[in-house]
Amino acid sequence: MIKQLTRFLMVPVAAMLLFSACASQQGASAPTASGMKKNATGKWTLNNVSYEGLPSTAKIKTVFSNIPPDCLQGSNWVLPSNAYGSYTLNATGAGCPTGTQNIVWSTLNQGGQIMIQFKELADGVKAKNITDGYRVELQSADNASMTWRAPVSYEGKTAYIIYSFSRQ
C-alpha cells in the first residue's frame, strides 16, 4: 500500500519538478523591458556610432533632432531610474551643436525586442503632451557597456546605426 502511494505521488512530483526547471530556464534567457531598464539606468558616454548594412560611401546626414551622427560621439547620457534624464553634446566639429537636452525615457517590449524610447522635453511642456520621440532597439546593457541599434532605410533596404556606450 505504501509502495503504491509512493509511486502514485512520485509521478506528479517528478513532472512538476521537470516543468518548473524548464520554466525557470526559459525565463532566465529572455530579457524583460524592466530588467533592461535597470541595466540601462546610469550615466553613459557614447563612444562610437557605426553602421551595419550600409556601404562605406553611404552617408546618414542626421539623427535625433537633426544631429549629425558624428556629433553624438563623446556625448554624455544620464538615464536615471525616475525616467527624467538628459544628454549633453560635447563634439566641437564643424556643424556640431553643443548643449544639454532634457529627456524622458523608458523601455518596452515591442514584438519580442526590448526598445529604449525617449522624448526630448521642451521648457514648460509636460512629457505627456509631447507626441514625437525616438525608439531604438536596446541590444545590450550591463555594468560596463550598452548598445543601441536603430533601423534606417537606404536604397529600399533596412540598415542599422549602432550606438556603443560605456558606463561612466
Q: What is the pLDDT of residues 105-133, one digit of tens each?
A: 999 999 999 999 999 999 888 899 999 99
φ and ψ at residue 15, rounded to 5 degrees:
-65, -40
Integer Cα distance of 96 and 68 in angstroms: 7
Which of the pair, 12 or 140, is modelled with greater confidence? Answer: 140
Q: What is the mean pLDDT of the chain?
A: 86
Please give the pLDDT value at position 136. 97
Which of the pair, 18 or 62, is modelled with greater confidence? Answer: 62
Strands 76-79 and 42-52: antiparallel
Which of the pair, 46 or 2, is modelled with greater confidence? Answer: 46
CB-CB neighbours of 40 under 10 Å:
23
Residues 26-66 pLDDT 10s:
545 678 999 999 999 999 999 999 999 999 888 889 999 89
Please give the pLDDT value at position 97. 94
Which of the pair, 16 or 130, is modelled with greater confidence? Answer: 130
Q: What is the average pLDDT across 132-161?
A: 95
Q: CB within 8 A of 76, min separation 6: which ones?
A: 43, 44, 45, 46, 87, 88, 90, 168
Q: What is the average pLDDT across 59-87?
A: 95
Number of helices (H), then strands (E), in the chain: 3, 8
Please give the pLDDT value at position 28. 57
Confidence of residue 67 (pLDDT cuts 50, 70, 90): very high
Q: CB within 8 A of 1, min separation 6: which ones?
A: none
Integer Cα distance of 38 and 81 in angstroms: 7
